[in-house]
């Protein structure tokens, strides 16, 4: 509605910044972007948004962030790729404070709709033991056996959303994101995910002329990767839908990590020697998104091909690597 205030928690992050830009482009609303990091560290800053730096782990900060809001997107979390979440379980679980305080502030502020970005890490480990697995449907989160730390925080927060709907009438929507990637995402520093990490390693190999990269695991673990544009589109569709249960938001195009490297090699126009670190963090053996529910409810699913998304992502990361390695 015209003049509604939409709050994006985590609005300085990769997905949050793109969502802020998308909502502003639709017009007729006011947008407040909130993030813990200093503004100069945000992935992107929209000058037409009300940009606030607040620690949303604190109840008072959540109250300030949601003052006057009609709609809330909670994308805020302390997270990263598998290397980060395996080494920082307590830090990841502390993100439960963000969702808890935001939900309570939303209830007190008469927010109409609330979105929570969950993760495919909520799915039971026993359903992800083989590479060539059946796609994970929404029912596969139970009996609960989520990724230790990060996955349990997401699963608990999903339940919080459900009970705030049941007890207080707050309309909540929950999407389980599957591996989001794209230009302007985290590509170095330890929090990057597989597509960005592989793109960086191949770009470094191309720039340096030393055509060797390290791969975590044996390279035969499987995943699906969703391009950022599909993620933002799906997030908006789910928020405005009548889907009142957690739902997958991910690509159904499954690929091995070795297959991912094959695609990036083709884009870069080089071949690399692959050195496998079998002791590195590698997560579950296989994971892919079953999109039956989202197709039934929305007649839509993420559809940007992995090859096309990686083309844009690699070119952007290559430019970052080249800039870092350029002589001063």
* 38-47, long-range: CB < 8 A, 24+ apart: 39/12, 41/12, 42/11, 42/12, 42/13, 42/17, 43/12, 43/13, 43/14, 43/16, 43/17, 43/184, 43/185, 44/12, 44/17, 44/18, 44/20, 44/184, 45/12, 45/17, 46/17, 46/20, 46/21
Classified as helix, coil or strand, 183 is coil
Give me the DSSP letters along 16-47.
HHHHHHHHHHH-SEEEEEEESS-GGGSS---T
Beta-strand relationship, 4-9 and 29-35: parallel
Beta-strand relationship, 29-35 and 50-53: parallel
Count the alpha carbons within 13 Å of 284 in the hemisphere toward its beta carbon.
Answer: 26
Residues 123, 150, 177, 314: which is the catalytic one?
150
> Do the Cβ atoms of 13 and 74 come closer than 8 Å?
no
Beta-strand relationship, 222-224 and 254-256: antiparallel
* 78-83, long-range: CB < 8 A, 24+ apart: 79/150, 79/191, 80/186, 80/190, 80/191, 80/192, 80/193, 81/190, 81/191, 81/192, 81/193, 81/194, 81/197, 82/193, 82/194, 82/216, 82/281, 82/282, 82/283, 83/190, 83/216, 83/280, 83/281
Classified as helix, coil or strand, 280 is coil
Q: How far apart are CA 11 and CA 21, in angstroms?
A: 10
Tell me, yes or no, if 142 is annotated catalytic: no
Catalytic residues: 150
């Amino acid at each position: 509605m015209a003049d509604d205030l939409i709050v994006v928690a985590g609005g300085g992050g990769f997905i949050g910044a793109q969502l802020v830009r998308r909502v502003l482009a639709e017009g007729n609303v006011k947008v407040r972007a909130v993030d813990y990091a200093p503004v100069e560290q945000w992935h992107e800053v929209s000058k037409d948004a009300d940009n606030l730096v607040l620690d949303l782990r604190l109840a008072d900060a959540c109250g300030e962030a949601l003052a006057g809001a009609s709609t809330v997107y909670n994308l805020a979390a302390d997270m990263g790729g598998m290397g980060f979440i395996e080494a920082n379980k307590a830090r990841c679980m502390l993100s439960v404070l963000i969702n808890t305080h935001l939900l309570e502030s939303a209830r007190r502020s008469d927010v109409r709709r609330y979105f929570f970005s969950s993760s495919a890490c909520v799915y039971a480990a026993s359903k992800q033991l083989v590479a060539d697995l059946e796609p994970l449907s929404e029912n596969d989160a139970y009996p609960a056996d989520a990724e230790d730390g990060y996955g349990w925080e997401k699963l608990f927060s999903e339940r919080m959303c459900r009970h705030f709907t049941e007890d207080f009438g707050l309309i909540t929507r929950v999407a389980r994101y599957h591996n989001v990637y794209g230009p302007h995402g985290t590509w170095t520093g330890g929090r990057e995910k597989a597509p960005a990490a592989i793109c960086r390693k191949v770009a470094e190999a191309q720039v340096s002329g030393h055509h060797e990269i390290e791969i975590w695991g044996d390279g035969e673990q499987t995943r699906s990767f969703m391009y950022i544009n599909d993620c933002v589109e799906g997030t908006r569709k789910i928020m405005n839908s009548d889907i009142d249960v957690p739902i997958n938001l991910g690509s159904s195009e499954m690929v091995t990590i070795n297959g991912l490297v094959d695609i990036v090699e083709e884009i870069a126009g080089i071949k690399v020697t692959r050195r496998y670190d079998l002791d590195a963090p590698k997560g579950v053996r296989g994971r892919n998104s079953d999109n039956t529910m989202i197709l039934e409810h929305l007649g839509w699913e993420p559809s940007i091909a992995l090859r096309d998304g990686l083309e844009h992502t690699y070119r952007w990361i290559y430019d970052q690597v080249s800039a870092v390695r350029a002589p001063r």
